[in-house]
Amino acid sequence: MSTDAQRWVASHVAGLPKSGIRDFFELVAKMKGQDVISLGVGEPDFVTPWHVREAAIYALERGKTYYTSNLGMIELRREISTYVERHFGVTYRPDDQVIVTVGVSEALDLAFRAFCNPGDKVMFHQPCYVSYHPSISLVHGTGIAVPTFASDNFALTAAALRAAWQPGAKILMLNLPCNPTGGTCTRGQLEEIAAFCREKDLLVLSDEIYSELTFEGTHTSIASLPGMAERTIFLHGFSKAFAMTGWRIGYACGPAPLIDAMMKVHQYAMMCASIIAQEGALEALKNGWDNVLRMREQYHRRRDVIVRRLNESGLPCHLPRGSFYAFPDVSATGLSEKDFSVGLLQHHKVAVVPGLAFGENGRGHVRACFATAYDQVIEACDRIDRFVQGLRQ
Amino acid sequence: MNPVLKLLIDGGSLTTGQLAQVAGLTEAEVNQHLEQLRREGIFLGWRPVLDLSREAAAALAVRAVIEVKVTPERGGGFNRLAERIARFDEVESCYLVSGGYDLLVFVRGASLQRVASFVSEKLSTIEGVLSTSTHFMLRCYKEQGFLLGADDSQTQRLNVAP
């Protein structure tokens, strides 16, 4: 048998870099059983609330094991429409402006495949979620990274957008609050971004998966700003706010012709999201809001602890207004983000993710997820402090 | 709500030092809050939550819940009798309830006989107690918020994820 199987891999996939998180995952996996506190996760530490799990079990018991409509169950789309209107102030018709997907990740993939021609330019702010740039490459698009900075609390500014803009740019990808920085934009900043999008005729893909986890003030969706709903695909899901990561359930809302285009890809690639996950999501929307608030309150307090402690240890860290990530600057230690992460893991058994995994602008930072119990957060902060003080001596 | 009280309710078993960090207070301030809550009769005390089916914890493992019907009294209603019953060491909790009986009394004892004799000799002989119906607890599935057996925390979440 030939050992040169690599020759069958498509060139644009072969050229795709592996996620920087993967290497680090392997390193942490080797330390199994060694009392490692992981701040390296990208998901809630809460198990999905029982009423949601129970609803899914009930659905199974009733024999709900079949395909649903390509767009997703109409009851779920109605609930999504109501939820989005109530919390984001944008109205979408359940019949043709909402599509249920396998996590927000699938929604994003559908959008890129539906809207991006080979060579089309897609702008995205960086540091950002690991999949954005590769997803653009997979549809033969060209990614344009727009930097965000700690000095702006990692908010995206219209000025940075304008500076990075190139003729032919077609799509702007937003993720506010942002993984890994926790950065958000004020309403004023969003209005400037919206004006820029209208001026340059950009289609906006807005991944608002962390929006419920906004700690100060209220979250504003760019889709709710004047003249934006018609040029925005609103992407959302249940993973973070409802603690449903493993269910893989999300959705997209937007103008009917755009949702229809996404639906074409979805019907051939995925057919529909799992009916069990849809049943769970339906229950989450109907009866889950109290749990969202309860979890958010805990994340809020944990954020305050970790950000205060990191700053006290001499690792400057802005206050992330949303998400469950702190993104401190570790450059004062004299170590690169990778050496810092490896040293912290090996000597003090705390896992954080090197910021470079989230793009060039993550250099000098690490991502520390505070979706873990109070005592673990505090113990991790104690260990980080010992590590940093040790480096000083 | 008092920040320390809030954390006592949903913060799990944090030490005073940890409570202080989470609430953004000094330890002395947390102790002041605790003292204040104690003075106001809001915070009554600490109790461990145990799995009493385990041998190591089985010293007072026989528990029963007793439905008690009583005759209410002019002036005091159910209070005098309820307070009298509540004072017995065997009684862990005592509630006035709506429905087919008046008091719901949780008792604990070293053996079935001890609990049975408490009911027959102490409780049911009190003047004003009309009847008792005792249910011995056979097995516990959830104890004050803690699941026994299948525990959600035993998950195999990845240590690093995007």
Q: What ipTM score was computed for the predicted complex, to two decimals?
A: 0.73
The CA distance from A184 to the nearest CA of chain B, in Å, is: 19
The boundaries of the domain holding residue A366 are: 8-48+290-392
Amino acid identity, position A255 = P
Question: Quick one: closest CA in A to B158, which residue?
Answer: A41
The CA distance from B23 to the nearest CA of chain A, in Å, is: 7
pLDDT in tens, B9-68: 876 678 888 889 888 899 999 999 999 999 999 999 888 888 888 888 777 779 999 999
The CA distance from A96 to the nearest CA of chain B, in Å, is: 31
A85 and A203 share one domain: yes
> Is residue B75's pLDDT more than 90?
no
- A3 occurs within a structural domain: no
A242 and A337 share one domain: no
The CA distance from A200 to the nearest CA of chain B, in Å, is: 32
More confident residue, B110 or A238: A238
Q: Measured between CB atoms, which of A298, A351, A375 is closest to B159?
A: A351
Asked if the Cβ–Cβ distance from B162 to A45 is below 8 Å, we say: no
Torsion region of A306: left, alpha or beta (phi above 0 gives left; psi -120 to 50 gives alpha):
alpha
- Chain A positions touching B23 (Cβ under 8 A) are 301
CATH number at residue A192: 3.40.640.10
Structural domain tally of chain A?
A: 2
Asked if the Cβ–Cβ distance from A130 to B162 is below 8 Å, we say: yes
CB proximity list for B65: less than 8 A, separation 6 or greater: B104, B105, B106, B107, B134, B135, B137
Asked if the Cβ–Cβ distance from B160 to A298 is below 8 Å, we say: no
A197 and A282 share one domain: yes
Question: Binning pLDDT at 50, 70 and 90, where does residue B153 land?
Answer: low
A362 and A222 share one domain: no
**pLDDT averaged over every residue in chain A:** 96
- A248 occurs within a structural domain: yes
Last residue of a domain, one of A255, A270, A288: A288
Strand ranges in chain A using DSSP code E only, listed in sequence order? 37-38, 98-101, 121-126, 142-147, 169-175, 203-207, 232-237, 250-253, 325-326, 350-351, 353-354, 366-369
Question: Binning pLDDT at 50, 70 and 90, where does residue B155 land?
Answer: low
**Selected residues 157-186 of chain A with any CB under 8 Å from a CB in chain B:** 179
Q: Copy the structure tokens of residue A8.
A: 């069958």
Residues of B contacting chain A (CB within 8 angstroms): 10-12, 14, 18, 21-24, 152-153, 155, 157-162
User: So where are chain B's domains?
Assistant: 3-39, 55-140
Is 3.40.50.300 the CATH classification of the domain at B55-140?
A: no
> Is residue A2's pLDDT more than 70?
no
Closest C-alpha to B157, from A377, A25, A324, A148: A25
Q: Copy the structure tokens of residue B77.
A: 């209603």
Edge-to-edge strand ranges of the sheet holding B103-109: B91-96, B103-109, B62-70, B129-136
Bridge partners for B146 per DSSP: B143
Question: Binning pLDDT at 50, 70 and 90, where does residue A229 land?
Answer: very high
pTM for this prediction: 0.89
A197 and A64 share one domain: yes
A43 and A162 share one domain: no
CA A253/CA A223 separation, integer angstroms: 10
> Is residue A1's pLDDT more than 60?
no
CA A176/CA A207 separation, integer angstroms: 7
- Chain B positions touching A42 (Cβ under 8 A) are 161-162
pLDDT in tens, A51-70: 999 999 999 999 999 999 99
CATH number at residue A294: 3.90.1150.10
A155 and A267 share one domain: yes
The CA distance from B152 to the nearest CA of chain A, in Å, is: 7
If DSSP codes are grouped into helix, strand and coil, which group holds residue A38? strand
Last residue of a domain, one of A288, A313, A345: A288
Question: Binning pLDDT at 50, 70 and 90, where does residue A78 land?
Answer: very high
Closest C-alpha to A296, from A324, A327, A328: A324
A370 touches chain B (CB under 8 A): no
A133 and A82 share one domain: yes
Last residue of a domain, one of A288, A304, A329: A288
- A2 occurs within a structural domain: no
Q: Are B94 and B53 in contact (CB under 8 A)?
A: no
pLDDT in tens, B77-126: 999 999 999 999 999 999 999 999 999 999 999 899 999 999 999 999 99
